[in-house]
Structure 1
Amino acid sequence: MDDNFKKAGELKDLLNLREKENLCSLACFSHNAIRRRKEKFTENEYRQQFSSDADRILNSLAFTRYIDKTQVFSLINNDHLTHRVIHVQLVSRIARTIGRYLGLNEDLIEAASLGHDIGHTPFGHDGERFLSKLTHKHGAGFFHHNIQSIQFLDRIEKKGKGWNLSLQTLDAILCHDGETHSRQLVPQKNRSFKEFDQMVNTMKTKASFEAIPMTMEGCVVRMADTIAYIGRDLEDAIRLGLVKRNDMPKSCKQILGRTNGTIVYTLVTDLISNSLDQPFIGFSETISAALKQLKEFNYRHIYTNPVIKKHLSSIEDIFCFLFKTYLADLENGTKKSAIFTDFLHGMSPEYRQTHSNPEIVRDYISGMTDSCLIRQAPDHLKPDSIEHV
């Protein structure tokens, strides 16, 4: 055997030993990763399991499409607004910082952070709402972007073969719901793939749900999701003139700070200090209450602000038009349709056999970028970009 290959295997053993020596007892160790299909790792494989997961997600086609997916603000000509590709990197950075201080597995945290929003539709949560109406109407269940993240990574990528990611990574992605406010999260340990799949199927039948991650690392990612967007969305809204900094609730400014940087620092510091050597990930009562109040402020003044919603008046029409069109193309076997040439070409027979036509349309549309969705629309439905809100 080549000496370099032998050294690579020895390096991985060394990294596993380092985890045992340096991570806390509540961490998820790389050698405990569980996959659906066993993989024959050669002796020259130097990457640990969750590190491999992160690499696979980073090299997925779905990750590439992050670059043109809405975070909050759509159709506005401003190069400094946050897009989904920036958000997931912020989540990764924040979550890894927390995990490092708590002695948790940073590779698992990174993998889940990078993959947690891969299933988001074009045009953010508005697109998610539009598509969910359509999937539910056509018998494909409610649409949830975190379930769709699992769908892409597990059943669509690599032409239907999926990346065979670990259960722990998939679970953290599925349970990342940063919109739900939680002061503390206690991981629900020892979940199996069978239980995971049952949970996914149950979620599809519900318009809303809450699922707790099985690992401390998953709990960190969920909290970091909130920390990453709460102040950043506020800064974007201030930049657009939707709100003024002084509009923030007085107690939020006093407790959390007035800027995104201060808010992130305050939340991360509090989360670390309250979670150190504890079997949970959580904030103090004071910080948690202030964070909840800031969430409610953002919801009223930013996320449901009619000033930005009016620019999306034609987007739902495009979702409806494309869903109807692609569904008819599948039923009629219209091979020239983009759903055949762009999505199903080369897809594994197993994918076609295990998915209904509405599910296939769901998968195609949800994977589109904002600009792709608009390109597919007829001219009379295409919206104009906005210079100013």
Structure 2
Amino acid sequence: MLMVFTRAPYACDPAKTRGRLHRQAESATRSAFQRDRDRIIHSTAFRRLKEKTQVFVAHEGDHFRTRLTHSLEVSQIARTLARALQVDEDLAEAAALAHDLGHPPFGHSGEDGLADAMKGFGGFDHNAQTLRVITLLERRYPEFDGLNLAWETLEGVVKHNGPLMKKGDDPAKLPWGFTAYEDWRGLELHTHSSVEAQIAALSDDIAYNNHDIDDGLRAGILKLDEVTELPLVGDVFRAVRDQYPDIGTSLTIHEAIRRLIGLMVNDVLEETRARLAASGVDSPEAVRALDHPVVSFSESMLVQLSAVRRFLYANMYLHYKVKRAKEKGKRIVRELFEAFLNDPALLPTEFHRQADTPGSPETARVVCDYIAGMTDRYAIDQHRQLFHVEAWR
């Protein structure tokens, strides 16, 4: 049966895009948002996500999530929500696929390490770094730097978690990476983003809440008996055990996580449809003008998820094995930064023209961009070459 797509009035229309910073002819076979999705997938930064930490360091096991597999899971949830809400699936997917491109190696510990190192040089923020990646650091086209994404995709990447400032706020409070973008004011950082971008943000929440439980259980850091005491999660795991008492732990986890994702998706759909109806929005501009997001979990789901996050923080993110790995990653990032900043000649040759003054802000930004683009494995290898004598053998 052929399904006909009906576009909701509040959906972004690729035929009415606000355009790209650098004008390009439209494609005969793909919409503007489809092209953006494809450009993101073909980018170097996207490929590097396969060796970047989500929670567990990427080389610790073949079955734990990396930034890449996480981004793919987020994109699939985003497409499901976008289709059900009759908004543009390609734009939601593009925002989902791009949302982690600015993450450095070693997850949030790597980000903490870079943020500490960059305190005197404008700071570091992974969302701002994502903007740098897609507007400057990716170099794939002879006419311009960056991916030259449509305005709606840029907006979705930058504001998927909500407005970055209020009208009248001092722009100096923004992370440096945002204000360094020449057209940052044009992204309207004081407004909410499109429905599609808000979908990407909630899809991120759904994905990481569930796969952190999955990975934690499979790593042996979380115990099944502990998880079954949680609100929502416990109900689902008990229901699976009652229905399938003999399927074993692995299948129990798979089935429970699948059901949990479905419950959260349905909750978002129900709450979002109610908010859209109550708001009366009839255009993407009307969505942006609201003082609250329209894509959301219900209040009851938010309460339950808050308890889940507290449990994960206490029992997984603070677990000594995870903390040890995080501390090692943070130290590697910090020591690499200090070495390159103090002696830019240690950087690969192609960076020497950009960074030739030890300790300068310009050198610090080049070093930051270089380290932020590293995979876990490459960062470990660079650190070994610089600091370990056995690497000479």
In structure 1, what residue type is equivalent to 2:67? R
Question: For the residues of structure 2 that align with 1:139 and 1:52, how far apart are their CA atoms?
Answer: 35
Report the CA distance shift for 1:326/1:220 in structure 2 as closer, same or farther (over 3 A): same
Report the CA distance shift for 1:236/1:344 in structure 2 as closer, same or farther (over 3 A): farther
Q: How far did residue 40 of structure 1 move?
A: 3.3
Report the CA distance shift for 1:98/1:368 in structure 2 as closer, same or farther (over 3 A): same
In structure 2, what residue type is equivalent to 1:111? A
Match of 2:375 in 1: 369
CA contact (8 A) 2:51 2:58 kept: no
Question: For the residues of structure 2 that align with 1:155 and 1:38, how far apart are their CA atoms?
Answer: 13
Report the CA distance shift for 1:23/1:242 in structure 2 as closer, same or farther (over 3 A): same
Is 1:273 the counterpart of 2:264 in the alignment?
Answer: no
Moved more, 155-164 or 228-237: 155-164
The residue matched to 2:266 in structure 1 has which SS? helix
Is 1:115 the counterpart of 2:93 in the alignment?
Answer: no
Listed as ranges, the matches of 1:172-321 within 5 Å are: 172-177=156-161, 202-204=173-175, 213-248=192-227, 249-254=229-234, 259-276=256-273, 278-279=275-276, 280-321=294-335
1:361-387: per-residue Cα shift (whole Å, max 9, x none)? 1110000000010111136867xxxxx
CA contact (8 A) 1:314 1:381 kept: no
Match of 2:147 in 1: 163
Count residues with an aligned counterpart: 330
Instruction: Choose which of 20, 32, 39 in structure 2 pairs with 1:49.
Output: 32
Q: Unaligned regions of 5+ residues in structure 2, if any?
A: 178-188, 239-255, 277-293, 356-360, 389-393
CA contact (8 A) 1:53 1:111 kept: yes
Is 1:126 the counterpart of 2:140 in the alignment?
Answer: no
1:66-108: per-residue Cα shift (whole Å, max 9, x none)? 1100000126632111111100000000011011001111010
Is 1:148 the counterpart of 2:132 in the alignment?
Answer: no
In structure 1, what residue type is equivalent to 2:84? Y
Question: For the residues of structure 2 that align with 1:344 and 1:41, how far apart are their CA atoms?
Answer: 36
CA contact (8 A) 2:231 2:308 kept: no
Q: How far did residue 255 of structure 1 move?
A: 5.5
In structure 1, what residue type is equivalent to 2:329? I
Question: For the residues of structure 1 that align with 2:352 and 2:8, how far apart are their CA atoms?
Answer: 45
The residue matched to 1:364 in structure 2 has which SS? helix
Instruction: Choose which of 351, 359, 362 in structure 1 pairs with 2:365.
Output: 359
Match of 2:391 in 1: none
CA contact (8 A) 1:140 1:358 kept: no
In structure 2, what residue type is equivalent to 1:161? D
Q: How far did residue 211 of structure 1 move?
A: 7.9
CA RMSD of aligned residues (A): 3.1
Match of 1:184 in 2: none
Question: For the residues of structure 1 that align with 2:137 and 2:368, how far apart are their CA atoms?
Answer: 12
Question: For the residues of structure 2 that align with 1:205 and 1:162, how far apart are their CA atoms?
Answer: 18
CA contact (8 A) 2:216 2:316 kept: yes
Q: How far did residue 167 of structure 1 move?
A: 2.2
1:250-309: per-residue Cα shift (whole Å, max 9, x none)? 423356656321211110011112212633112222222111111111111112222321
Question: For the residues of structure 2 that align with 1:377 and 1:299, how far apart are their CA atoms?
Answer: 29
Question: For the residues of structure 1 that align with 2:101 and 2:352, how far apart are their CA atoms?
Answer: 19
Match of 1:8 in 2: none
In structure 2, what residue type is equivalent to 1:88? S
The percentage of counterpart residues that share the same residue type is: 29
Q: Unaligned regions of 5+ residues in structure 1, if any?
A: 1-17, 178-186, 350-354, 383-389
Question: For the residues of structure 2 that align with 1:321 and 1:313, how far apart are their CA atoms?
Answer: 12
Match of 1:93 in 2: 76
Q: How far did residue 152 of structure 1 move?
A: 0.5
Match of 1:385 in 2: none
